[in-house]
């Protein structure tokens, strides 16, 4: 039995899909990734934006076109949000964000009639079958859910409240990994430990004994302090920090319900650079949030320049029905796109400047793939590095000679 697993969205979804594939193989199925002819498809959906919802719905129809007789199993945030969107098109199972560990057994058993899972959200962290670790960089899920309820975001309603994984389970999975680098990920990694008496800093310290490159997927600026930063430094974590800004205007941050202001964010940046002087600091920014005036947007642009991010992921605001922001007066989509384009130009300039500052430095790089005579990978501070001599699958210290393509040579 051949089963194709398709994943849309975040790294947490990717971790969960990898667990599903591992369990499918244990049960005797030939599990593969992507759209190939198959007997069954498992589609792990995303609902972070309206576009993600739309793409998730398209995937079920695409699967039925490729293999008209295949059964389709749907799970994830988009089906948690709108089950009706996925009815038909050979869909025999519609689940949500809970009990993904049961999907492999359902697929192998060969369901005859359409079933819909109970969409109740979990209240404790749900362990999944141990995933296989086959790539040079490995993502390990340490947390699920979110308590923040930002005014634009549906994810807390679809994933539930914060649930932290047992630290011993995290350490055990990290020890099994054969990857050159592990990345700790979750829906809101910064909240790790708040529900079970643990702490992110204590987990970081426990992982310090592992002789492997280690990275955090993301942070909220509110958890950045001496305790966590010293733990990260002592445990040998990479000098890359992804902190979502979303807006550089305090008025907009308040409307977003983001629980910090620009001063707090800048203090976190300064603290990071004290412990990690050459840190790459990346971020997410939303352009065109409701209530954002031209002056507010100008503040965001100026603040991004002041921070000097090494890269920025920019998104035009997307209405999410059921959120507080969706009930606010909306900015025209064209203006959102124009502002996103302007922030994109700033991001490109800041990234170039950060890459230029790497010239003459020695960086530790995990080289991952070779193409057209070049090998490329990422440094600890998340700069893309190209080499004519390095081998894929190796970690090497390299001297940076110049900026090159989207990174350095």
> Where in the sequence is the domain holding 256, given as residue range(s)?
137-357
Same domain, yes or no: 186 and 254: yes
Could you tell me where the DSSP H helices lie in 100-166?
Answer: 103-109, 155-159
**122 within a domain of the structure (yes/no):** no
Between CA 42 and CA 342 the distance in angstroms is 38
**340 within a domain of the structure (yes/no):** yes
pLDDT at position 112: 61
Same domain, yes or no: 305 and 160: yes
State which of 116, 146, 168 marks the end of a domain: 116
Same domain, yes or no: 142 and 273: yes
Between CA 299 and CA 266 the distance in angstroms is 14
H or E segment to which residue 263 belongs = helix 262-275
**Contacts from 262-271 at CB under 8 Å and sequence distance 24+?**
262/303, 264/221, 264/222, 265/221, 265/307, 266/306, 266/307, 267/221, 268/221, 268/222, 268/224, 268/243, 269/221, 269/243, 269/307, 271/224, 271/225, 271/226, 271/229
**260 within a domain of the structure (yes/no):** yes
**235 within a domain of the structure (yes/no):** yes
Same domain, yes or no: 372 and 334: no
Same domain, yes or no: 184 and 97: no
**228 within a domain of the structure (yes/no):** yes
User: Residue 244: which CATH number?
Assistant: 3.80.30.20
**121 within a domain of the structure (yes/no):** no
**131 within a domain of the structure (yes/no):** no
Same domain, yes or no: 47 and 167: no
Same domain, yes or no: 216 and 312: yes
Same domain, yes or no: 42 and 166: no
pLDDT at position 348: 98
User: Residue 6: which CATH number?
Assistant: 3.40.50.12160
Same domain, yes or no: 325 and 391: no
- The DSSP string of 61-116 is HHHHHHSTT-EEEEEEHHHHH-GGGG-STTEEEE--SS-GGGHHHHHHHT--S-EE
What does each of the 409 residues of the chain score in pLDDT, given as a tens digit? 999 999 999 999 999 999 999 999 999 999 999 999 999 999 999 999 989 999 998 998 899 899 999 999 999 999 999 998 888 778 999 999 999 999 999 999 987 667 788 889 988 999 998 887 667 899 999 999 999 999 999 999 999 999 999 999 999 999 999 999 999 999 999 999 999 999 999 999 999 999 999 999 999 999 999 999 999 999 999 999 999 999 999 999 999 999 999 999 999 999 999 999 999 999 999 999 999 999 999 999 999 999 999 999 999 999 999 999 999 999 999 999 999 999 999 999 999 999 999 999 999 999 999 998 999 999 999 999 999 999 999 999 999 999 999 999 9
Give buried/exposed letters for 323-359 (b at 16+ CB in 10 A, else e): bbbeeeebbeeebbeebbebbeebbeebbeebbebbe
Same domain, yes or no: 20 and 107: yes
Please tell me the pTM assigned to this model.
0.93
Give the number of domains in the chain.
3
**128 within a domain of the structure (yes/no):** no
Contact between 387 and 378 under an 8 Å Cβ cutoff? The reply is no
Same domain, yes or no: 288 and 351: yes
pLDDT at position 395: 96
Start-to-end CA span in the chain (Å): 45
pLDDT at position 206: 97
Same domain, yes or no: 8 and 53: yes
Count of residues making up the chain:
409
């Amino acid at each position: 039995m051949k089963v194709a697993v398709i994943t849309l969205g975040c790294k947490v979804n990717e971790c969960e899909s990898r667990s599903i594939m591992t369990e499918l193989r244990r049960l005797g199925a030939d599990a593969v990734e992507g759209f190939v002819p198959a007997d069954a498809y498992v589609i792990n959906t995303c609902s972070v934006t309206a576009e993600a919802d739309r793409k998730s719905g398209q995937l079920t129809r695409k699967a039925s076109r490729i293999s008209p007789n295949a059964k389709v199993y749907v799970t994830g945030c988009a089906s948690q949000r709108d089950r009706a969107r996925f009815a038909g098109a050979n869909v025999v199972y519609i689940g949500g964000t809970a009990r993904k560990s049961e999907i492999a057994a359902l697929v192998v058993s060969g369901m005859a009639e359409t079933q819909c899972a109970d969409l109740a959200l979990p209240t404790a962290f749900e362990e999944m079958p141990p995933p296989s670790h086959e790539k040079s960089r490995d993502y390990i899920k340490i947390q699920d859910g979110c308590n923040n309820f930002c005014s634009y975001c549906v994810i807390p309603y679809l994933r539930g409240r914060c649930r932290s994984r047992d630290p011993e389970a995290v350490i055990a999975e990290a020890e099994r990994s054969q990857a050159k680098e592990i990345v700790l990920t979750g829906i809101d990694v910064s909240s790790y430990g708040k529900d079970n008496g643990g702490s992110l800093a204590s987990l970081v310290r426990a992982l310090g004994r592992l002789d492997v490159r280690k990275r955090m997927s993301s942070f909220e600026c509110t958890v950045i302090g001496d305790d966590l930063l010293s733990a990260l430094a002592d445990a040998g974590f990479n000098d890359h920090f992804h902190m979502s800004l979303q807006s550089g205007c305090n008025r907009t941050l308040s409307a977003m319900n983001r629980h910090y202001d620009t001063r707090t964010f800048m203090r976190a940046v300064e603290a990071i650079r004290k412990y990690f002087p050459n840190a790459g600091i990346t971020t997410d920014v939303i352009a065109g949030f409701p209530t954002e005036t031209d002056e507010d947007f100008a503040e965001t642009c100026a603040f991004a320049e002041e921070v000097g991010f090494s890269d920025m992921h920019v998104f035009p605001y997307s209405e999410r029905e059921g959120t507080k922001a969706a009930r606010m007066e909306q900015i025209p989509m064209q203006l959102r796109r124009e502002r996103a384009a302007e922030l994109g130009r700033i991001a490109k300039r800041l990234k170039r400047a950060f890459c230029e500052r790497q010239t003459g430095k020695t960086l530790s790089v995990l080289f991952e793939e070779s193409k057209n005579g070049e090998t490329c990978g990422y440094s600890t501070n998340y700069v893309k590095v190209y080499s004519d001599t390095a081998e894929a699958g190796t970690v090497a210290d390299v001297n940076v000679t110049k900026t090159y393509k989207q990174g350095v040579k």
